[in-house]
Amino acid sequence: MALPDIRNRMATPAIRRIQEQAIGSLWFICAIFAVLTVCFILGYLFYNGYPAFVQIGLQDFLFGLDWNPTGSPPSYGILSLIVGTILVMIGAMVLAVPLGIASAIFISELAGPRLRTIIKPAVELLAGIPSVVYGFFGLVVLTNWIRVSFDVPTGETWLAGSILLGIMALPTIVSVSEDAINSVPREFKEGSLAIGATGWQTISKVIIPAALSGITAAIILGIGRAIGETMAVLMVTGNAAVVPEPIWNVLSPIRTLTATLGIETGEVPIGSLHYNALFAIAVVLLIITLLINLSATFILNRIRHAQTGSAEIKRLVSQDTSVQIRRFLRYGFLGMVLLLVAVAAGILPCLVLLVVVITLSLLWKRISPKSTQKIAYSCMFAAVGIVLAVLTIILLDIIVKGLPVISWEFIFGYPSNLGRAGGIFPAIVGTIYLVIGAIMIALPIGIGATIYLSEYTREGLVT
């Protein structure tokens, strides 16, 4: 019996090695499948979009102002679509960034444990609302409010799209920023308070700079949400392929790249120039997103290097130029806000706001640290109040208008009269099937790719 035992012991390492190689190969297949899928999608986009670049011409396609594929003759200029996408994104970030960061600071540093357990889930609840629900709310409530408040023919405008996308980006910015602020070591805060700094001085001078990389990542993710959104933007922006005149007219209807794809893809003849032009739009949208992600990666790496001192980085600009750039961005942000106020409310409110800003900037340097802290804390309280008020309005509108018409027939019935009556049971079943199928495909492949990247590879440029 001794000889078989020896053979078994000798064979065990070999068997384990084979098993380990087989498992590693399985995880590698999962990882490479995900990569190949992305490459296939990119290749398919470029393959179908290339004929449009050749036949239309790159300059006419990118810089043409008229998008009218069904006209006579047809025109395929997408500059108005690019401008519309950028304007909606800028407007959304003007709204979402200050509210999101202020709310994150409040949740992390000012709210007590009980209040935090209420506010953070409430804010994250905004992320769980489907895009089409946001779009329906914007179409029914927001656009009517804009139409009545500003006395315009229609409320489907750039302003409506920016407000709606800003609301949709809020949960991402708040959640990621709050996690970044919480990750700052408590010793930083305690050390600042120990030398006599106020709470606001500690937050603004110590905690926020230490969490800057995470906050920057939150803003970039918010920008990505604003650029990639389709359904909600499609429902509230008016979908007019024009450049606003003047460019800061927030009450002008516009159209984005994603909305164009959503509107026209299902109706275009396959293989036509219009069909190829839509794929070319997808390529342009992909390039814009890629440039934003690469810029974000570059900025985050420089912030991390500056914070940790882990590597000597070469300055692209001098210190004086860097200060001038920050001043330009600060004044540019203020100018954008003033333009939005001027268009939305008139010149007089804009001048009043400008006077208030100048007065506050002059007084800010003269008031005591305690007074500064009170003002800052009041602003953060107001930001959280606005976010919670938005959530309350959306939920109340949905519940008040939707709950009374829900019945067993509505849930378990079948649609009739071309969907204008009857129930939604087939839609519910179809949604469940779609979710289950997506999870069955994505979950094992995603987990396998994650295991391979974390356990079988070294971190580098490729991985």
Between the CA of residue 443 and those of 29, 36, 62, 417, 426, what are the distances in Å? 14, 17, 38, 39, 25
Q: Is the peptide bond before 69 cis (omega within 30 degrees of 0)?
A: no
**Comma-separated ranges of CATH 1.10.3720.10 domains in the chain:** 47-310+367-405
Q: What is the pLDDT of residue 439?
A: 94
CATH superfamily of 47-310+367-405: MetI-like (1.10.3720.10)
What pLDDT is recorded for position 314?
46
The C-alpha R_g of the chain, in whole angstroms, comes to 27
Query: In a 3-state reduction of DSSP, which class is residue 51?
Result: helix
Q: Tokens 């920023």 label which residue?
A: 177
| Beta-carbon contacts of residue 206 (< 8 Å; ≥ 6 apart) | 184, 188, 189, 192, 197
Give the closest residue to 228 by CA, choosing from 265, 194, 261, 277: 261
Res 279: pLDDT: 93
Q: Is the peptide bond before 246 cis (omega within 30 degrees of 0)?
A: yes
Alpha carbon distance 463, 453 (integer Å): 7
**Predicted local confidence at residue 313, as pLDDT:** 42
Longest dimension (CA), the chain: 100
Report the distance separating Cα 260 and Cα 275, nearest Å: 12
H or E, element range at 80: helix 79-105
- DSSP letters for 394-445: HHHHHHHHHGGG--HHHHHS-EETTTTEE--HHHHHHHHHHHHHHHHHHHHH
Nearest to 427 by CA among 411, 405, 447: 411
Please list, residue by residue across 285-323, b when 16 or more beta carbons sit within 10 angstroms of its beta carbon and e when fewer do.
Answer: bbebeeeeeeebeebbeebeeeeeeeeeeeeeeeeeeee
Best CA proximity match to 158, nearest among 228, 85, 94, 82: 85
pTM to 2 decimals? 0.80
- Contact of 174 with 123, CB cutoff 8 Å: yes
- Cβ 159 vs Cβ 250: under 8 Å: yes
The segments of the chain whose pLDDT lies below 50 read: 1, 3, 310-318
Beta bridge partners of 67: 76
Give per-residue pLDDT as tens, 280-304.
999 999 888 888 777 777 766 766 6
